[in-house]
Amino acid sequence: MELQAAKMIGAGLACSALIGAGVGIGNIFGNYLSGAMRNPSAAPGQFTNLLIGFALAEATGLFGLLIALIILFG
């Protein structure tokens, strides 16, 4: 296999880390929403925690994306 083709495949595979990020972000926002529906008055106070969780979940996926970018352009 040519090196260039292998690089492309590798970058594509590295992007699969974003599957986990998608599941995680959906989980966080879904649970926040269902919690907010049960107790709407407590929802605004937890908005920061929501964003922290969102940021952490996204960060793990972004590392995969970073690897993909390094493979492609590094």
Partner 1 sequence: MHQFEINRLQKLEVFGWDASFTNSSVFMVLATLLIVGFLLYAMRARALVPTRLQSIAEITYEFIAKMVRDNVGPEGMKFFPFVFALFVFILVLNLLGMVPYSFTVTSHIIVTFALAAMVFTVVTLVGFARHGFGYLRLFLPDGVPIWLMPVIIPIELISYFIRPISHSVRLFANMMAGHTMLKVFAGFVVGIGGVGGVISLGGIAPLLFMVVFTGLEFLVAFLQALIFTVLTCIYLNDAINMHH
Question: Smaller CB distance to partner 1: residue 18 or 36?
Answer: 18
CB of 9 to partner 1, least distance (A): 20
CB of 36 to partner 1, least distance (A): 17
CA distance 14 to 72: 11
C-alpha distances in Å from residue 45, one per residue of 3, 22, 25, 31, 33: 52, 24, 19, 15, 13
Q: Which residues bind partner 1 (CB under 8 A)?
A: 48, 51-52, 54-55, 58-59, 62-63, 65-66
CB of 1 to partner 1, least distance (A): 26
